[in-house]
Chain A
Amino acid sequence: MQQTISFVLDGKIQTLTFNETFGPTTTVLNFLRKSAEHKGVKEGCAEGDCGACTVVIGELNTDNKITYKAMDSCLVFLPMIHGKQLITVENLKQQKGVTEVLHPVQQEMVDCNGSQCGYCTPGIIMSMFSLYKNENNPAKESIDDALTGNLCRCTGYKPIIEATAKACVNNGEDHFVRNEKQIVELLSQIKDSTNSIGINTATQKYYQPKTKAEAFEMRNKMQDSVLVGGATDVALRVTKRHEVLKEIIDLSNIEELKKCTITDYVIKFGAGMSLEEVRKISRNELSALHETLSVFGSRQIRTLATFGGNLGSGSPIGDTLPILMAYDAEIKLQGVDGDRVVKMNNFILGYRQTDRKPNEIITSIIINKPSTNTIVKFYKVSKRKDLDISTVSAGFSVTLDKNKVSGITLAYGGMAATTKRATEAEVFLMANEWTRENIEQAMPMIEKAFTPISDARSGAEFRSVVAKNLLMKFWSETSNQK
């Protein structure tokens, strides 16, 4: 196993050995901020909520081209960028003699008055740059989505939206296109010489296997290790709680976990797929999952966060949990002892407790496409509509024969210590007419089913009222009532 990591920065391969200054759980943000040349990247929160630290990661894809993705560098551990290109705000402009030529996204920001105090600006520029490289003439929704992960306290965003729309018109043409061949060569060079990574420092062991089989072996040997998917949860233990994670198995470099298979009836998502990928794939046939992920974190977060990671913590406010219950999805668990499939509805055992055995890893999520007479919907109520954690979330599905209920799931997040179904209401509605009268009778049962808590996000009463109202909302939307 190799002890070092390599990535491309400023057009060159950089190879890092780990020591006192940089450990394997040092974030890319902290690495950059320690260098004199990369002070453009900013820390605004160290928890993925502000985007001031946004960088763009270039990944070598299967067509030997580079895919550009914006990420929050405060959540990325250094080994996670092994074999990738790290692009910072300093890399966008070009020096032509004594004059600096700004990148189109930068120039439009200047022309549209897109910066005031300027502290958010480098991060915003990087989100714009990522969009510039991926979409031409992006729709308003896409611009909004690309910028949701970047908070700006000064501008009111209007000029930033305008600048983004004006800039993203050149089919991604820029000096990165012109230099792509060279970067591809450097990245291939790293790739060809890469083994699985194993970093040992005085206080930490960090493993990044390349195959599932290796991962199962390691997990079996180190059952107390921390598994890492995208690290959007795990990194906070480091950046906010200053924990020293002793043993880490980082699954982010296992290609087998990022595969998706689609058949006529079933979509099987690899647990290592990013939620942004899952969002794209689910757009047509799993629209409720798509909706879930459209109000999940920000684009930067979803690019990092994995499907397996959202299930792995078993959090009662994990947004995919209730919707997977509504889809009656299955979770595949694997380890050295073999594999097994568990129904999502049986997967959660208690507060942050799942049916996964210590030596198992979640490897895929299997969802049957709903039948034509089944309606599945997801609702998320949070203080801010976007980039917020659910106060209450709900995954509902109803199967109707004529107007009679022949199947129903009402799964809630944020209402109890676990994602939990409103069983009494389900039983009542089952085999009954899907009418407003029946919904109104079921609503108090939902209220009764939970004793939610009051916390920073809301009071208990609000949670109770919302939970029952969401059923009415579901009914009104399934029966087209305004």
Chain B
Amino acid sequence: MNIPHDSATKHVSGQSVYIDDILINSQLLVGRVVYSKHAHAKITKLDLEAAKKFHGVHAVLSYKDIPGHNQMGPVVHDEVCLAVGIVECIGQAIVLIAAETEEIAIAAEKLITIEYEPLEAILDIRTAIEKNTLLGPVRTMQRGDADAALKKTKHIITGELETGAQEHWYLETQSCVCVPGEQQEIIAYSSTQHPSETQAIIAEVLGVGKNEIVVETRRMGGAFGGKETQGNWTAAWSALLCHATKRPVKIRLFRDDDQIMTGKRHPYLIRYEVGFDDAGKIDAMKVEQNADGGYATDLSLAILERAMLHADNSYYIPNILVTGRAYKTNHPSNTAYRGFGGPQGMAGMETIIDRIARTLKKDAADIRKLNFYGIDKDNITHYGQEVELNRLHVLYDKLINTSEYYARRKAVNEFNVKNEFYKKGLALTPVKFGISFTTSFLNQAGALVNIYKDGTILVNHGGTEMGQGLNTKILQIAAAELGVSNAKIKVNATNTSKVPNTSATAASAGTDLNGMAVKNAIDTLKERITGLFAKEFSKSSPENPSLQENIAIENDLIFDRKNPDRKIPFDEAMNVCNFNQVSLSATGFYKTPNIGWDKATGWGKPFNYFAFGMCVSEVMVDTLTGFYKNLRTDILHDVGESINHGIDKGQIEGAYIQGVGWCTTEEVKWNDKGHLLNHSPDTYKIPSVQDIPEDFRVEIMQGIPNPNAIRKSKAVGEPPFMHAFATWLAIKDAISAVGDHKHEPKFKLPATNEVILLSIEELKKRH
């Protein structure tokens, strides 16, 4: 099915309402966050008096004014809401202001005196490793004996890969409006991926019960992981100001403040040692992943875990040892970002394959194929999960043909012989991505489905809409499961008073989990409705009663399959239900079955299933400037049976381009004091319309249903992000051509034109 996004007409006509668009009465105050200008310092003086007296200011709060717990850490409680005596990164919140206008708030901020005594700051991962500032225990996952196998292997490569941070750059910055109710009550309209946690954090900082707080999320203007935990911040801050002033308060971070204050994708330093034979088959691999977690734990440990679980990407490695460490530094706490560590883990693996190919002077696609997980054998991952329904081989066979890989390889080589100043590169990379929260208990979801007497239906579920089309898919699922037309159904804004205690909309699992919960609620309602109409239909002919099992709901009609003349339109029927005292409201619940694993031993079945995909990309590099052009990119991706082709395709294209941004132009740099240099789109460059492939072919693999998820579909949010590695490694292939593929080029992620050009210069010197 291909219906448009359920908000599409609202989007295009400017009628979709985001936090900043909500109409609030003239009592609304503007909230402002005063944050640290030092990466690590003692606060020696904090004087708020002048600001408090400024005309139009309604509240100026420091940690002393927090009625509940001064804490926002989602997992580990190491993240204060407002700084107490010490600041640990630039951007850390110290003081909150509520004022009548933004101008007044800005003026009031200037009246606040904060004096600091700077302390030593750790601003890069290498220093953190040296000082051993671990955020959590060292983790390992292993199979076989990597050390022993490395001793016996024919070829050994060792190396290092640096992957950079990535700013989410959701178009809508972090925002929340809190509206006070009676006494302790607050309704928070929040741009959050995790309303239940936002509710919890607000309740905790205010020291009130969660039943006083309602969090509602209609839609986000993009999130990508950046609002999984850090959407809580603006919510907690505006709630504090709302509580203090008893007036509605809105905080919407200005773009630069958002970029300075919030965490990013974790930078990783990956060290590896790999052994392989003459054919390129890997015998053994040791990988060490080091993550820059920023100043607090946030989700760093779960992200590290996923990075480790994807250290193999799509390849069977008999002897493997993966070691993971997350370190504390004095940057804002890094956080979830599409792929959640998977991209970093897989970048390491793909670098290794690329190097094996160069060492053996073979085509990297062949090395990949050789090492893919097998169908019947060599199909157990390094954490003990079988790679069931392995689609790598079908995808490869199809894509290698449709992309004309080998013919283009030849053409690329010929071009490179003929041209000195321009070089082309080509690469194929696979994706295998595990679907489920690796913290198993989080794999649960709830729903509340209300049918009204006129036959219209309001579906509530715990997931949040951030552009990924979750609500559209939920609408389609609800319509299909209930047997009514799409037009009868409305998916409601996510609201913690409708569906409580939910998990974040993350891990690509929004549709899988919430779709199932909605189905569960609808099953209950159908049971009640068909029960009633079995009785109703039987009234007129007790001799030939209608049986409940034969009552069906299809195309807005309730009828008896055996006696098709016994029927009633759905709308009319709902009135009858109400008259007969049948409840038309039901909750639904779902938990993913058959998963579970032992985090301590790193062994078990963390994932419900895997999503697969493959990409071939061809680029041309200008060897004099380092600019590259994305000439053609072919993606073949597995989404099981697509619930909505247009939405799935949009996710694949969008994820790939976002991945290309991370791999190429999106550079995050800090100076030696810890100040973020790229704090606005002036210097932080996400892909523009001109950066997509000149020839961009995206196809959804057909005919491979997924038995393990709702309506045989598959999660699609994150996996296609990693297709960008084909482009990244095609760039490396083009650089490598400068040295006739004889030398290993210096390379990292992102491959900015600076990285590309300096790598070429270095190759020229060696060649």
B-contacting residues, A123-167, CB 8 Å:
125, 144, 147-148, 150-161
Whether a CB of chain A sits under 8 angstroms from the CB of B63 is no
CA distance A120 to B577 in the complex (A): 44
Residues of B within 8 A of A50 (CB): 171, 681
**B17→A92 contact, CB < 8 A:** no
**A457→B683 contact, CB < 8 A:** yes
**A465→B12 contact, CB < 8 A:** no
**B255→A156 contact, CB < 8 A:** no
Q: Can you name the residue of chain A whose Cβ is closest to the Cβ of B255?
A: A45
Whether a CB of chain B sits under 8 angstroms from the CB of A42 is yes
**A40→B5 contact, CB < 8 A:** no
**A381→B421 contact, CB < 8 A:** no
Residues of B within 8 A of A151 (CB): 169, 171, 681, 686, 688
> Which of B224, B467, B665, B686 makes the CB contact (< 8 A) with A118?
B467
Whether a CB of chain B sits under 8 angstroms from the CB of A213 is no
Whether a CB of chain B sits under 8 angstroms from the CB of A41 is yes
Identify whether the interface residues of B are mostly helix, strand, loop, or mixed.
loop
**B421→A45 contact, CB < 8 A:** no
Residues of B within 8 A of A155 (CB): 650, 653-654, 657
Residues of A within 8 A of B14 (CB): 38-41, 88-90, 122, 125
**A156→B420 contact, CB < 8 A:** no
Whether a CB of chain B sits under 8 angstroms from the CB of A462 is yes
Whether a CB of chain A sits under 8 angstroms from the CB of B466 is yes
Residues of A within 8 A of B209 (CB): none
Residues of B within 8 A of A116 (CB): 5, 222, 467-469, 650, 654
**B658→A153 contact, CB < 8 A:** yes
Residues of A within 8 A of B539 (CB): none
Min Cβ gap A302→B in Å is: 15
> Which of B421, B682, B683 makes the CB contact (< 8 A) with A476?
B421
**A110→B624 contact, CB < 8 A:** no
**A109→B690 contact, CB < 8 A:** no
> Which of A42, A113, A384 makes the CB contact (< 8 A) with B688?
A384
Min Cβ gap B746→A in Å is: 13
> Which of B4, B10, B624, B761 makes the CB contact (< 8 A) with A470?
B624
Min Cβ gap B439→A in Å is: 26
Task: Pick the interface stretch among A251-259, A277-285, A385-393.
Answer: A385-393
Min Cβ gap A268→B in Å is: 32
> Which of B8, B419, B686, B753 makes the CB contact (< 8 A) with A381?
B753
Min Cβ gap B4→A in Å is: 5
Q: Can you name the residue of chain A whose Cβ is closest to the Cβ of B655?
A: A156
Whether a CB of chain B sits under 8 angstroms from the CB of A356 is no
> Which of A47, A119, A240, A473 makes the CB contact (< 8 A) with B624?
A473
Whether a CB of chain A sits under 8 angstroms from the CB of B563 is no
Whether a CB of chain A sits under 8 angstroms from the CB of B503 is no
**B625→A473 contact, CB < 8 A:** yes
Min Cβ gap B418→A in Å is: 7
B-contacting residues, A362-392, CB 8 Å:
379, 381, 383-389
Residues of B within 8 A of A115 (CB): 5, 7-8, 11-12, 467
**A109→B689 contact, CB < 8 A:** no
Whether a CB of chain A sits under 8 angstroms from the CB of B221 is yes
Given A36-B23, A106-B13, A115-B8, A383-B171 contact (CB < 8 Å)? no
**B172→A117 contact, CB < 8 A:** yes
Min Cβ gap A233→B in Å is: 12
**B469→A157 contact, CB < 8 A:** no
A-contacting residues, B612-635, CB 8 Å:
622, 624-627
Interface flags for B7-48 (1: CB within 8 Å of A; 0: not) read 111111111111011010000000000000000000000000
Min Cβ gap B671→A in Å is: 9
Whether a CB of chain B sits under 8 angstroms from the CB of A67 is no
Min Cβ gap B564→A in Å is: 35
Interface flags for A103-115 (1: CB within 8 Å of B; 0: not) read 0011101110111
CA distance A482 to B698 in the complex (A): 32
**B680→A47 contact, CB < 8 A:** yes
Residues of A within 8 A of B168 (CB): 153
A-contacting residues, B382-424, CB 8 Å:
418-422
Min Cβ gap B618→A in Å is: 17
CA distance A47 to B682 in the complex (A): 8
**B757→A466 contact, CB < 8 A:** yes
Whether a CB of chain A sits under 8 angstroms from the CB of B754 is yes
Q: Can you name the residue of chain B whose Cβ is closest to the Cβ of A39?
A: B21
Q: Count A-B contacts at CB 8 Å.
A: 242
**B171→A466 contact, CB < 8 A:** no
CA distance A38 to B13 in the complex (A): 11
CA distance A377 to B295 in the complex (A): 48
B-contacting residues, A253-306, CB 8 Å:
none
**B627→A465 contact, CB < 8 A:** no
Interface bracket on A: 35 or more
Residues of A within 8 A of B686 (CB): 151, 153
CA distance A472 to B168 in the complex (A): 38
Q: Can you name the residue of chain B whose Cβ is closest to the Cβ of A462?
A: B754
CA distance A110 to B472 in the complex (A): 13
Whether a CB of chain B sits under 8 angstroms from the CB of A459 is yes
Residues of B within 8 A of A158 (CB): 653, 692, 696, 698
**B421→A481 contact, CB < 8 A:** yes
Interface flags for B150-192 (1: CB within 8 Å of A; 0: not) read 0000000000000000001111100000000000000000000
**A42→B171 contact, CB < 8 A:** yes
**A465→B758 contact, CB < 8 A:** yes
**A469→B625 contact, CB < 8 A:** yes
B-contacting residues, A381-421, CB 8 Å:
381, 383-389
Whether a CB of chain B sits under 8 angstroms from the CB of A192 is no
> Which of B13, B467, B687 makes the CB contact (< 8 A) with A90?
B13
**A154→B654 contact, CB < 8 A:** yes
> Which of A114, A117, A459, A482 makes the CB contact (< 8 A) with B171?
A117
CA distance A472 to B622 in the complex (A): 12
CA distance A146 to B627 in the complex (A): 22
CA distance A113 to B645 in the complex (A): 10
Q: Can you name the residue of chain A whose Cβ is closest to the Cβ of B624?
A: A469
Residues of A within 8 A of B18 (CB): 42, 119
Q: Can you name the residue of chain B whose Cβ is closest to the Cβ of A455?
A: B677
Residues of A within 8 A of B698 (CB): 158
Residues of A within 8 A of B646 (CB): 113
Residues of A within 8 A of B758 (CB): 461-462, 465
Residues of B within 8 A of A473 (CB): 421, 622, 624-625
Whether a CB of chain B sits under 8 angstroms from the CB of A223 is no
Residues of B within 8 A of A117 (CB): 170-172, 219-223, 466-467
Known: A125-B14, A240-B256. 11 other contacts (CB 8 A): A40-B14, A116-B222, A116-B654, A119-B18, A144-B689, A151-B681, A153-B222, A157-B692, A455-B677, A458-B754, A469-B624
A-B CB contact pairs (8 Å), 5 listed: A119-B171, A122-B12, A156-B653, A383-B667, A472-B421
**Which 5 A-B residue pairs are closest in the complex by CB-CB distance?**
A40-B14, A117-B467, A119-B221, A118-B11, A156-B653
Residues of A within 8 A of B (CB): 33, 36, 38-47, 49-50, 52, 88-90, 92-93, 100, 102, 105-107, 109-111, 113-122, 125, 144, 147-148, 150-161, 240, 242, 379, 381, 383-389, 455-459, 461-462, 465-466, 469-470, 472-473, 476, 481-482
Residues of B within 8 A of A (CB): 4-5, 7-18, 20-21, 23, 103, 106, 168-172, 219-224, 254-256, 418-422, 466-469, 622, 624-627, 646-647, 649-650, 653-658, 665, 667, 669, 677-678, 680-683, 685-692, 696, 698, 752-754, 757-758, 761
